[in-house]
């Protein structure tokens, strides 16, 4: 046995640096000069999410910006050369951007997928009613929400209505300060004795998330439902809508406030719907600004993740699969051969470790704000149920990507085992025989009307996705 000699502090530090997997704040690892770029990117992001709050609006905005930087509608009959930029839109709720790579699809595609829907309150097909001389809208909430968080906050109406003769009308009401907004009322604490003794899940019923939309009756000395009549009269004068037309609409109620900086140091952005626009936005700019892309790259922005990716605008639809087949075909390769060689980053958020709720997290396997992008090997619920589990080999590829470009990254699992869990669209891409892993950023207060992310993490994701596209 060696003599037992106490090592000095310096030796211990050196050995720890070598052997420990320690995550540090991005600013401790990189030059403070990045702050200028970080802040510029954050301002562009804030503008984007203020402008595009629903899946239709995000798709419309991505399309507008993409066309501006030279993307053209995909046409299978055309001949494409490396560097050509194309897009394909599905039902105004999905958009795929592709850039033909130097090597085409020969070695598989580079894919980044993210979702553009966020939790909210959807109007029911027949929403308007009057009760006790107040006009209200019935809603059916969309996605996983804590219902109490959606009462007593300003809401705006966003959506599309298709009028009788087929004309489409896109409406946004309640975002500007000079127009009215809407809200769900809540019971005053003085009278909430019974409500406060209920579990959080039962305190507000889904059926009670009704939206206050008016109170002035139509001028008449007799008649019932005169407030409802007045509201319909206002809507009809302005938009030619009748009560029947609501059936042919998709109206969503979303928080009416804008993205704001949070903290004395403005480290954070608080906003509605970071999940998953804080990944979609960096994905879009990684496509635009990554100069050399060896393989044909595809960024796909998809709807319906928050309710299980079902239907023809969700990730389970065949839209992406067929688009990839077309891209393979124009490259002269067989889709069956190209998919298994492709690599995909499913860009979605993870739960940030929250000191207020630390008992719900495993500190070793949680992601932390300001510590960079989160690599999530798997998602799922108790016992990894429903998980897409990226292989050690593919993770090792991602490590190489991150290390080459000095990307700050960390691991993350969604909370403690048996505490719940969640899924992303990763598994639906992986089901196509494509190596897929979740990479995103940590979010505080996820799925609340005011989610919080770090500007440093947001910019780091843009860099990470760019590194992924640039790597052979
Ligand atoms: Mn998400
Ligand atoms: Mn989500």
Which domain CATH number covers 241? 2.30.250.10
Co-location of 278 and 347 in the same domain? yes
Of 255, 286, 313, which one is at a domain's C-terminal end? 255
Residue pair 93/55 in contact by the 8 Å Cβ criterion: yes
**280 alpha carbon, closest ligand:** 1
Question: How far does residue 449's CA lie from ligand 2's centre (Å)?
Answer: 12
Which residues, by Cβ under 5 Å, contact ligand 2, an ion?
Answer: 275
As a whole number of angstroms, the distance between CA 382 and CA 255 comes to 32
Question: How far does residue 82's CA lie from ligand 1's centre (Å)?
Answer: 32
pLDDT at residue 133 greater than cutoff 70? yes
What's the number of domains the chain is made of?
2
3-state DSSP helix/strand/coil percent for the chain, to nearest 5?
Answer: 35, 25, 40
Q: Give me the long-range contacts of 319-326 (CB less than 8 A, separation at least 24).
A: 319/90, 319/94, 319/96, 320/96, 320/113, 320/429, 321/432, 323/74, 323/88, 323/96, 323/98, 323/298, 324/109, 324/298, 324/432, 326/74, 326/76
Co-location of 151 and 298 in the same domain? no
Question: How far does residue 222's CA lie from ligand 1's centre (Å)?
Answer: 51
Of 255, 285, 304, which one is at a domain's C-terminal end? 255
As a whole number of angstroms, the distance between CA 117 and CA 279 comes to 12
Question: How far does residue 315's CA lie from ligand 2's centre (Å)?
Answer: 14
Residues 261-312 pLDDT 10s:
999 999 999 999 999 999 999 999 999 999 889 999 999 999 999 999 999 9
Residue pair 98/287 in contact by the 8 Å Cβ criterion: no
Co-location of 426 and 360 in the same domain? yes
Task: Evaluate whether residue 263 is within a structural domain.
Answer: no
pLDDT at residue 66 greater than cutoff 80? yes
**Lowest-confidence segment of 21-30, 144-153, 195-204, 365-374 by average pLDDT:** 21-30
pLDDT for res 418: 76
Task: Evaluate whether residue 186 is within a structural domain.
Answer: yes
Task: Evaluate whether residue 397 is within a structural domain.
Answer: yes
**Lowest-confidence segment of 21-35, 84-98, 428-442, 456-470 by average pLDDT:** 21-35
Residue pair 354/361 in contact by the 8 Å Cβ criterion: yes
Query: Exposure of 400 by Cβ count < 10 A (0-12 exposed, 13-18 middle, 19+ buried)?
Result: exposed
Q: Tell me what the mean pLDDT of segment 440-457 comes to.
A: 98
- pLDDT over 70 percentage in the chain: 100
Question: How far does residue 118's CA lie from ligand 2's centre (Å)?
Answer: 7
- For residue 375, list its beta bridge partners: 411, 439
Residue indicated by tokens 């070695």? 107
- If you ran DSSP here, which 8-state letter would residue 141 be given? E
pLDDT at residue 1 greater than cutoff 70? no
**440 alpha carbon, closest ligand:** 1
Co-location of 225 and 113 in the same domain? no
Question: How far does residue 50's CA lie from ligand 2's centre (Å)?
Answer: 18
Task: Evaluate whether residue 46 is within a structural domain.
Answer: yes
pLDDT for res 443: 98
Co-location of 323 and 437 in the same domain? yes
166 band by pLDDT with thresholds 50, 70 and 90: confident
Task: Evaluate whether residue 224 is within a structural domain.
Answer: yes
**276 alpha carbon, closest ligand:** 1
Question: How far does residue 404's CA lie from ligand 1's centre (Å)?
Answer: 27
As a whole number of angstroms, the distance between CA 44 and CA 40 comes to 6
**451 alpha carbon, closest ligand:** 2
Residues 357-411 pLDDT 10s:
999 999 999 999 999 999 999 988 888 888 889 999 999 999 999 999 999 999 9
Residues 187-246 pLDDT 10s:
999 999 999 999 999 999 999 999 999 999 999 988 999 999 999 999 999 999 999 999
Co-location of 442 and 301 in the same domain? yes
441 band by pLDDT with thresholds 50, 70 and 90: very high
Task: Evaluate whether residue 1 is within a structural domain.
Answer: no
Residue pair 136/225 in contact by the 8 Å Cβ criterion: no
Q: Tell me what the mean pLDDT of segment 441-445 comes to.
A: 98
Indicate the average pLDDT of the chain. 95
pLDDT for res 27: 85
Question: How far does residue 276's CA lie from ligand 1's centre (Å)?
Answer: 5
Question: How far does residue 275's CA lie from ligand 2's centre (Å)?
Answer: 5
Co-location of 389 and 279 in the same domain? yes
Q: Tell me what the mean pLDDT of segment 345-357 comes to.
A: 97
Q: Is the dihedral of CA 302, 303, 304, 305 positive or negative?
A: positive
Question: How far does residue 439's CA lie from ligand 2's centre (Å)?
Answer: 14
29 band by pLDDT with thresholds 50, 70 and 90: confident
Question: How far does residue 48's CA lie from ligand 1's centre (Å)?
Answer: 18
Count CB atoms within 10 A of the CB of residue 135: 23
Of 255, 284, 317, which one is at a domain's C-terminal end? 255
Task: Evaluate whether residue 439 is within a structural domain.
Answer: yes
Question: How far does residue 37's CA lie from ligand 1's centre (Å)?
Answer: 25
**446 alpha carbon, closest ligand:** 2
**447 alpha carbon, closest ligand:** 2
Co-location of 48 and 81 in the same domain? yes
**Structural domain of 206:** 127-255
User: In terms of Cα–Cα distance, which of 140, 57, 62, 54 is closest to 96?
Assistant: 62
Question: How far does residue 10's CA lie from ligand 1's centre (Å)?
Answer: 43
Question: How far does residue 381's CA lie from ligand 2's centre (Å)?
Answer: 14
Task: Evaluate whether residue 7 is within a structural domain.
Answer: no
SS3 25: coil
**424 alpha carbon, closest ligand:** 1
Residue pair 346/426 in contact by the 8 Å Cβ criterion: yes
Co-location of 365 and 230 in the same domain? no
Q: Which CATH number characterizes residue 102's domain? A: 3.40.630.10
pLDDT for res 78: 95
Task: Tell me the residue length of the chain.
Answer: 472
Co-location of 200 and 218 in the same domain? yes
SS3 281: helix
Question: How far does residue 84's CA lie from ligand 2's centre (Å)?
Answer: 33
Co-location of 441 and 349 in the same domain? yes
Tokens coding 70: 């030279």
Distances 85 to 9, 67, 298, 318, 451 between C-alpha atoms, Å: 55, 9, 10, 22, 33
415 band by pLDDT with thresholds 50, 70 and 90: confident
Give Cα 400 to chain centroid, integer Å. Answer: 26
Co-location of 143 and 216 in the same domain? yes
User: In terms of Cα–Cα distance, which of 462, 259, 279, 267 is closest to 369?
Assistant: 267
**145 alpha carbon, closest ligand:** 2
446 band by pLDDT with thresholds 50, 70 and 90: very high
2 band by pLDDT with thresholds 50, 70 and 90: low
Question: How far does residue 279's CA lie from ligand 1's centre (Å)?
Answer: 9
- DSSP E strands, 321-412: 343-346, 350-351, 373-376, 409-411
- DSSP E strands, 200-239: 211-214
């Amino acid at each position: 046995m060696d003599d037992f000699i106490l090592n000095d502090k310096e030796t211990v530090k050196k050995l720890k640096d070598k052997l420990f997997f320690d995550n540090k704040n991005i600013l401790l690892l990189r030059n403070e000069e990045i702050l200028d770029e970080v802040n510029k990117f954050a301002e562009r992001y804030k503008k984007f999410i203020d402008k595009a709050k629903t899946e239709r609006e995000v798709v419309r905005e991505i399309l507008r910006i993409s066309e501006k930087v030279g993307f053209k509608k995909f046409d299978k009959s055309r001949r494409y050369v490396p560097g050509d930029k194309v897009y394909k839109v599905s039902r105004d709720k999905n958009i795929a951007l592709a850039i033909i790579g130097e090597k085409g699809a020969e070695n598989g595609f580079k894919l980044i997928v993210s979702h553009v829907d966020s939790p909210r309150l959807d109007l029911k097909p027949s929403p308007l009613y009057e009760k006790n001389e107040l006009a209200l809208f019935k809603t059916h909430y969309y996605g996983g929400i804590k219902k109490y968080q959606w009462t007593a906050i300003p809401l705006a109406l966003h959506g599309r209505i298709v009028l009788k003769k087929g004309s489409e009308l896109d409406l946004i009401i309640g975002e500007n300060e000079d127009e009215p907004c809407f809200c769900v009322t809540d019971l005053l604490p003085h009278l909430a004795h019974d409500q406060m003794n209920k579990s959080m899940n039962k305190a507000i019923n889904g059926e009670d998330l009704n939206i206050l939309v008016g109170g002035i009756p139509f001028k008449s000395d007799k008649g019932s439902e005169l407030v409802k009549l007045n509201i319909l009269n206002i809507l009809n004068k302005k938009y030619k809508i009748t009560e029947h037309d609501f059936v042919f609409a998709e109206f969503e109620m979303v928080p009416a406030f804008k993205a704001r900086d949070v903290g004395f140091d403005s480290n954070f952005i608080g906003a509605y719907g970071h999940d998953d626009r804080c990944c979609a936005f960096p994905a879009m700019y990684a496509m635009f600004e990554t100069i050399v892309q060896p393989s044909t790259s595809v960024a796909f922005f998809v709807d319906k993740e928050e309710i299980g990716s079902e239907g023809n605008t969700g990730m389970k639809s065949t839209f992406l699969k067929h688009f990839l087949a077309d891209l393979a075909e124009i490259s002269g390769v067989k889709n069956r051969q190209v998919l298994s060689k492709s690599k995909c980053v499913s860009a979605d958020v993870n739960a940030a470790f929250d000191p207020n709720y630390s008992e719900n997290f495993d500190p070793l396997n949680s992601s932390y704000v300001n510590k960079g992008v989160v690599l999530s090997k798997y998602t799922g619920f108790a016992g990894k149920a429903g998980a897409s589990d990226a292989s050690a080999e593919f993770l090792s590829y991602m490590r190489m990507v991150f290390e080459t470009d000095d990307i700050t990254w960390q691991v993350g699992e969604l909370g403690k085992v048996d505490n719940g869990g969640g899924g992303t669209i990763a598994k639906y891409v992986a089901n196509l025989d494509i190596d897929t892993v979740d990479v995103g950023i940590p979010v505080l207060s996820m799925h609340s009307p005011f989610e919080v992310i770090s500007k440093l993490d947001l910019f780091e994701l843009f860099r990470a996705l760019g590194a992924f596209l640039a790597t052979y």
